[in-house]
Amino acid sequence: MRAFPGFRAASAAVGLSFAAAVTLTACGSDTTGDGTLTVVASTNVWGSVAQAVAGDKVDVTSIITEPSSDPHSFEATPTDAAKLTDASLIVYNGGGYDHFVDDIIGTGNSDQLTVNAFDLLEGGAHANEEEHSGEGDSHEGHDHDHGDVNEHVWFDVDTVDATAQSIADKLGQLDPDNADAYKANAATFHGRLEQISAITDGIAAAHPGAPVAQTEPIAYYLLQSAGLKDVTPPDFTSAIENGNDPAPAAIAATRQLLTGKQVQALVYNVQTQDRVTQDVRATAESAGIPVVEVTETLPEGLDYIQWQTNTAESLAAALQ
């Protein structure tokens, strides 16, 4: 389930077999049986971020890797529960997005180290500026207005940066001998994030306030960083977000944005499409409105930086 009003309804309760698995593994541990550190991420998005920091020194496993899996409604298996409760470090999105992690660690080892990206949303930019001060780094952070809370924080570069820094800190606690290597990897990752910010900054400069539409508010932070305005009727996006059919009036208003060429692009979540969103996409294509595809897990063969760079470049191209 999602933790805020308008988000999808909660998924089914966890079964007895799942609870038994948690009980059996609730003791947790900092290492595997052979003394090896392990990091477990809720999705391959955060697994990629964790791997960038861990390098070749730590094994990183992601629970959700399939594009067809929806983290909002994902139900962990006993095997998934064992992986999480036995992990040295858990990295997850938080904010109710991957709620199965909270379901598991809430009944497990209270001392287990975790990194919750959503918890870093508010202070991410400020924390990063302090972390990198004095290093000759020109990153100034993006001043986001977080009044409208949105849990898709992997689109917020500052939060992703703060998450990488937190992963480095936690791995340094678990493995002091390699703490400097983890910090160096996080600094390298920070530098690579700048290429994404450069693209969105360019969009903001070239198309300030340009109107766009979304099938659901997944790319909220990307559009905010790019200085764009999402003009989709909230009744439409909130219904899609909840897995419901929007009211006819909301569908008609959204279609009018496209047929009337009142938006310059449609951001389309291919991972949760249905007949309503497919119709909206077809309407956009018929009207000559560019469609920018987004997903909630990594496409095969891409890491986080490549994925988000491609997405930002697709958005920039759509607005040309």
Q: Which three-class secondary structure string do you get for 76-136?
A: CCHHHHHHHHHCCEEEECCCCCCHHHHHHHCCCCCCCEEEEHHHHCCCHHHHHHHHHCCCC
- What distance in Å separates the CA atoms of residue 247 and residue 201, rounded to the nearest whole number? 36
**Residue type present at position 193:** L
Where do we find the tokens 């979540």?
A: 269
Residues 6+ apart with CB under 8 A from 216: 237, 240, 241, 269, 272, 277
Give me the tens of pLDDT residue by residue for the chain, a chain 320 residues long: 333 333 333 333 333 334 433 433 334 344 544 568 999 999 999 999 999 999 999 989 999 998 777 787 788 899 999 999 999 999 999 998 999 999 998 865 667 899 999 999 965 433 333 333 333 333 333 333 434 579 999 999 999 999 999 999 999 999 999 999 999 999 999 999 999 999 999 999 999 999 999 999 999 999 999 999 999 999 999 899 888 999 999 999 999 999 999 999 999 999 888 999 999 999 999 999 999 999 999 998 999 999 999 999 999 999 99
Which ranges constitute the DSSP H helices of 207-265?
220-225, 234-241, 248-259
As a whole number of angstroms, the distance between CA 99 and CA 276 comes to 26
